[in-house]
Chain A
Amino acid sequence: MKVDSAVEYLRSLNYCVNYEPHPYHLSPEKAISFFEQYDLVLDCTDHPTSRYLISDACVLTGKPLVSASALKTEGQFIVLNNPPRPPGDVSGGPCYRCIFPKPPPAETVLSCGEGGILGPVVGVMGVLQALEAIKLLTAKPPPTDLDCAMDLTADEVPAPVEQARPTMLMFSAYSSPQFRSVRLRSRRVACAVCSAQATIDRQSLTSGSLDYVAFCGVTTPTNSLKPTAQVTATEFSQLPTDGSNVLIDVRDETQYAICALPGSVNVPWTGNADAWLEEAIRVGAVAELGDGRDRYFVCRLGHDSQLAVKAVMDNVLEGRAKDIKGGFRAWREEVDPSWPDY
């Protein structure tokens, strides 16, 4: 398990720290009792579902939350619910819902698995989290009048205690400057969890009545073609390679460079059907008026190839376009086990 690898590695770095693995998924039912054992929480997860749950549980247990995210060459860093005042106290720091009251549409959420991530970018964000965690854990409580009187020598003026201002630090490896700090709002008057009008309480979490997956939405697999417009990878492998058919690979250039079938034509799917079709015709992959040859479409998993087939069937006179069902994953499983699994 990932958590065991993390503990093993961290122990080799510093065996003086007490590491406690929790080898299960964080659920709304467990989150409250789990967070109550700690002084602060660091969110290093990778999906809106867990980000909303962790923030809600931090507000309800009164813990500050050090949150970082990263994708490709960019990162974002926010300290939330700091200071961690009870719901309804406007002097508390904003929570994730104050900043992002509505989750983004599921189809716009790109994970590191899909989008890729550069190791040092996560490293930068992780180090920032570690630093903030040390600062929060070692922070002195605000001085009382008595403390000030005792510390004060003749010429010294006590430094005013700086109220933490909510900010988001954005990091972008290829931008100049690489760091940018932006001011965020304070607690939202109508926040669903940290305001006086909150509708989410401990009971909503512990009872399991709050469905974070439904709240954030799910994407459904593309299934837009009739069965007659699809062939299996096995069927495709049995077709003659005499030029009577054309294989159009719609993956991006990087994936095409990793592995591709000989004789295939690469026309990356960009999401815009009209622009894609124009490009496919321009490079000669698709013939506007038809040339009697069958076109087969393939991608990594078989989503985008269906969209490309649909674009061709909707717009071009030649209708002989077929999708290779399940893409190269199916190709690997059915036809060629040596095909790279990436």
Chain B
Amino acid sequence: MIDSIPIAVEFTRIQSKTHRDSPVASGGLELLFSNQRKHQVALPASNPEGTPSTVGYLVKWLCENLIKDPRKEMFVLDDSVRPGILVLINDADWELEGEEKYELQANDEIVFVSTLHGG
């Protein structure tokens, strides 16, 4: 019985206007995650309801276990990843893989990409 699955989680430097005054703002999503871009997490293989862990559960789990900052709304809005963040499952848009319902496999790579708008 496997009780946890290894998952690689990465955050591209997600920018936000946490400092509206600074042209060299450093407040990114990785700040919420101990200022670290890449994380190896051991995710419980099933959620509390006993069904296999999905990406939706991973997002919830990250909020509860990995975010060290009260500003969770920079990552999640209305129980889903906030608009402007693209979720990649093994280098594919998660919408190709079933979005939140995708069941995670060992060594899957999940990347949260911030949309850039600058030009």
- Using CB atoms and an 8 Å cutoff, list the residues of chain A in contact with chain B: 43-48, 51, 68-72, 74-76, 99-105, 107-117, 122, 168, 170, 172, 180-185, 219, 222, 250-252, 254-255, 268-272, 274-275, 299-305, 327, 342
Q: Does B27 contact A (CB under 8 A)?
A: yes
CB within 8 A of B117: which of A71, A105, A170, A303? A71
Q: Does B18 contact A (CB under 8 A)?
A: yes
How far in angstroms is the closest Cβ of chain A from B35? 10
Residues of chain B at interface, number, CB under 8 A: 39
In whole angstroms, what is the CA distance A219 to B111 when docked?
28
Q: Which of B69-115 touch A at CB < 8 Å?
A: 69-71, 74, 77, 82-86, 88, 91-93, 95-96, 111, 113, 115
- Contact between A100 and B115 (Cβ–Cβ < 8 Å)? yes
Q: Does B54 contact A (CB under 8 A)?
A: no
What chain B residues lie within 8 Å of A342 (beta carbons)?
A: 23
- Contact between A68 and B18 (Cβ–Cβ < 8 Å)? no
- Contact between A69 and B113 (Cβ–Cβ < 8 Å)? no
What chain A residues lie within 8 Å of B91 (beta carbons)?
A: 180-183
What chain B residues lie within 8 Å of A44 (beta carbons)?
A: 119
What chain B residues lie within 8 Å of A252 (beta carbons)?
A: 19, 22, 24-26
- Contact between B82 and A303 (Cβ–Cβ < 8 Å)? no
- Contact between B116 and A70 (Cβ–Cβ < 8 Å)? yes
Which residue of the partner chain A has the closest CB to B15? A110
In whole angstroms, what is the CA distance A339 to B68 when docked?
38
Q: Given that A72-B13, A104-B83 are known contacts, is A114 also in contact with B22, CB under 8 Å in the complex?
A: yes
Q: Does B17 contact A (CB under 8 A)?
A: yes
Q: Does B47 contact A (CB under 8 A)?
A: no
What chain B residues lie within 8 Å of A103 (beta carbons)?
A: 83-84
How far in angstroms is the closest Cβ of chain A from B87? 11
How far in angstroms is the closest Cβ of chain B from A185? 4
With most chain B CB atoms within 10 A of its CB, the pick from A68, A108, A299 is A108
Q: Given that A180-B91, A182-B91 are known contacts, is A108 also in contact with B25, CB under 8 Å in the complex?
A: no
In whole angstroms, what is the CA distance A105 to B23 when docked?
19
How far in angstroms is the closest Cβ of chain B from A226? 21
With most chain A CB atoms within 10 A of its CB, the pick from B88, B96, B118 is B118
In whole angstroms, what is the CA distance A180 to B12 when docked?
12
Q: Does B16 contact A (CB under 8 A)?
A: yes
CB within 8 A of A51: which of B21, B27, B83, B117? B117
- Contact between B96 and A74 (Cβ–Cβ < 8 Å)? no
How far in angstroms is the closest Cβ of chain A from B4? 27
A-B contact pairs, 18 of them (CB 8 A): A43-B119, A70-B119, A74-B116, A103-B84, A105-B82, A110-B15, A110-B25, A112-B118, A115-B24, A182-B113, A185-B93, A219-B20, A269-B18, A272-B69, A300-B21, A301-B21, A304-B20, A342-B23
- Contact between A114 and B17 (Cβ–Cβ < 8 Å)? yes
In whole angstroms, what is the CA distance A209 to B16 when docked?
30
CB within 8 A of B84: which of A105, A254, A300? A105
What chain B residues lie within 8 Å of A105 (beta carbons)?
A: 77, 82-84
Q: Does B31 contact A (CB under 8 A)?
A: yes
- Contact between A69 and B119 (Cβ–Cβ < 8 Å)? yes
- Not counting A114-B17, A272-B69, a sample of 7 additional A-B residue pairs whose C-beta atoms are within 8 angstroms of each other reads A76-B115, A99-B86, A102-B83, A110-B16, A114-B20, A114-B23, A255-B22
Which residue of the partner chain B has the closest CB to A275? B69
